[in-house]
Amino acid sequence: MNQPVEHPSTPVLPVAKRGLDLIRDPLLNKGTGFTERERAALGLRGLVPPQVVSIDSQVNRVMENFHRQHGDLDRYTYLEGLHDRNETLYYRVLLSHINELTPIIYTPVVGQACSQFSTIYRRTRGMYFSADDVAYFAEMVSNWPEDNVEVIVVTDGSRILGLGDLGANGMGIPIGKLSLYVVGAGLDPQRTLPIMLDMGTNNAALRDDPLYLGRRIPRLTGPAYDTVVEAFVRAVHARWPHALIQFEDFSNDQAFQLLERYRRQVLCFNDDIQGTGAVTLAGILSALRITGQTLSEQRIVFLGAGAAARGIADTIVAGMMAESGISLDAARRQIWTLDSQGLVTLDRLDSLSEHKRPFAQNSPPLPDLLAVTQAVRPTVLIGVSGQPGSFSETVIRAMHGHCERPILFPLSNPTSKSECTAEQAYEWTHGAALFASGSPFPPITRGGHLLVPGQCNNMYIFPGVGQGVVSCRASKVTDTMFYVAARTLAGLVGEDSLTVGRLYPDLTLIREISVQIAVAVCELAFADGLAGIERPADLETFIRKRMFVPDYVSYAV
Ligand code: NAD
């Protein structure tokens, strides 16, 4: 009954390995899914139990074991074990249980996994570039067997989620993010490469941990740091000139500088800045489909002025300029940012970090969010401060006093850091808030009406943008690509979702969303002369054909 059926359309591929070598290669292994013919011809007889099992039946077994694990960290470790044994099955499981499993392989559970990375470590995955090895970087890239790497996710572990400096333990982030690339947009797992750039760590507890696997030195800074990054970028770019490099979870000071330094030299972007910008703009555009207003009409206040705030603000500005043709300055004047010192104003210019300056307002000092809310009368309030409860009842009621449908996005993660809960936002606005958050909140019924809070999850954007730029071999990733991705995503939210205030589509639609974003990004790359291939006649079919589908292929026997 469980026998796998080989459809006439099942691709048949040659395979160079046999026997245990084949079983031990996670990219080729099928475990109990090897057919009788394959077992006979490839030296597998007797090496696997006699039952030949379909992939869907294997998925059921995995989920049964998954549910037996005690606690989320064990669930993460169990799934990573499968990742290391059988990648096709791992991705099949993730795709078929996406809403349940993405919080395990990525936020929030990946945070726990990174904290414990050196303890739960079992088997290597990806590459480690340590400052000690800088003279060998150019040789080290040849140790990686794949010639066609398409996406690299790299971190220096300096700002892992909200957990700070986790040194080499941050490797869990590139691994998790690349799993999302494969699940979300069908990047070929074989062509993905997670990388840890080990610059040391300022986390003394880690340096003293006998199990810690990274370098036990204080973090490099200044020119020493820059030299290592430069050697790294040159080495990977020389070996894989078309690969996309995604910078991930770098501390603020480095994140902006690296993006500025490399965005015109190599195909790269920073998801904490640009991906966050696009997914948040998409949510705002969905909300505006409900209110019927334009983006340029909005007065937007940010609590927090870090990487996420800057990325979101820049993307909104790009959106306003594209939508209504207003100038850069006029668009920036619609945005007010607050840091821990209050409103970011021109008076503070001398002491402001570079990334805060473009949004400094010509205003008298305003000490806190309530004062800014009263003075500015925002229509959109975005929380990227990591300060739980800072969207207080007084602030939200004050905002609702002048704004019929307040757009409220408390984005700080995890849930415990959210600036307010969904329930509070709906309660204090009598159900009028248009709400999305960084971490998920359950739906709420209010006065007989269902209200579904949206989750502003970067996963809606970066896989599709990544698939788009590597598919057309774009020479660079532009801000306009992120704006187009946001617009595409907002356009895919159905009317039925908007009716219940839901500003993002269901994650189960992620592959379809990514196809549309990838097509839109490619269109733009071709229009702007950035694409490195001839334009395919049918872009959508071209993208779909490139997508990895987690089905077993038949091995030619
Ligand atoms: P960051 O450290 O770069 O920025 C935090 C900012 O908050 C800083 O500007 C800091 O000055 C400000 N801040 C601190 N205390 C404050 C206070 N009391 N009042 C006002 N401002 C204060 O961090 P980041 O990368 O910008 O991320 C911020 C938050 O956004 C995190 O919690 C992160 O999880 C969340 N985030 C969510 C998404 C998403 O939902 N898709 C994406 C990225 C980041």
Distance 349 CA to ligand 1 centre (A): 20
**Nearest protein CA to atom 31 of ligand 1, as residue:** 412
The number of the ligand 1 atom at minimal distance from the alpha carbon of 412 is: 32
Q: How confident is the model at residue 2 (pLDDT cuts 50, 70, 90)?
A: very low
Q: Output the pTM of the full model.
A: 0.95
Q: Is the CB of 272 under 6 A from ligand 1?
A: yes
- Going by C-alpha positions, the residue among 505, 527, 503 that lies closest to residue 514 is 505
Average pLDDT, the chain: 96
Please state the φ and ψ torsions of residue 195, each to the nearest 5 degrees: -135, 135
In angstroms, the Cα distances linking 406 to 328, 377, 431 are: 25, 10, 10
CA atoms 13, 8, 6, 80: torsion sign: positive
Q: In angstroms, what is the span from residue 16 Cα to ligand 1's centroid?
A: 49
Instruction: For residues 159 and 155, give the distance between their C-alpha atoms in angstroms, rounded to a whole number.
Output: 9
SS3 labels along 142-182: HHCCCCCCCEEEEECCCCCCCCCCCHHHHHHHHHHHHHHHH
- In sequence order, what E strands does 350-464 have? 380-383, 407-410, 434-437, 444-446, 449-451, 454-455
pLDDT average, residue stretch 92-106: 96
Q: Is the CB of 306 within 6 Å of ligand 1?
A: yes
Domain 104-266 has CATH 3.40.50.10380: yes
What is the number of the ligand 1 atom nearest to the C-alpha of 413? 34
- Residue 67 CB neighbours (<10 A): 9
Q: Mean pLDDT over residues 511-538, rounded?
A: 98
For ligand 1, what atom is nearest to the CA of residue 255? 3
- Asked if domains 104-266 and 274-456 share a fold, the reply is yes
Distance between Cα 475 and ligand 1 center (Å): 31
- Give the residue extent of every domain in the chain: 104-266, 274-456, 460-532
CB 243 within 8 A of CB 150: yes
More confident residue, 8 or 319: 319
At 122 the three-state DSSP class reads coil
Ligand 1 neighbourhood includes 411 CB (under 6 angstroms): yes
Q: Residue 463, Cβ neighbours under 10 Å: how many? A: 28
Q: How many Cβ atoms from other residues are within 10 Å of residue 503's Cβ?
A: 28
Positions marked active-site:
106, 177
For ligand 1, whether the C-beta of 417 sits within 6 Å is yes
Instruction: Assess whether the C-beta atom of 414 lies below 6 angstroms from ligand 1.
Output: no
Residues whose CB is less than 8 angstroms from the CB of residue 531 and which lie 6 or more positions away in sequence, other chains included:
472, 473, 474, 522, 525
Query: Cβ(438) to ligand 1 under 6 A?
Result: yes
* Token pair in block for residue 142: 């040849």
Cα 461 to averaged position of ligand 1 atoms, centre (Å): 19
Q: How far is the CA of 355 from the centre of ligand 1 (A)?
A: 13
Assess if CATH 3.40.50.720 describes domain 274-456.
yes
Average pLDDT (129-153) is 97
pLDDT digits (tens, 9 = 90+) for 110-139: 999 999 999 999 999 999 999 999 999 999
Q: pLDDT tens digit string along 393-407?
A: 999 999 999 999 999
Amino acid identity, residue 147? D
- CB of 522 sitting under 6 A from ligand 1: no
Q: Is 340 helix (H, G, I), strand (E, B) or coil?
A: coil
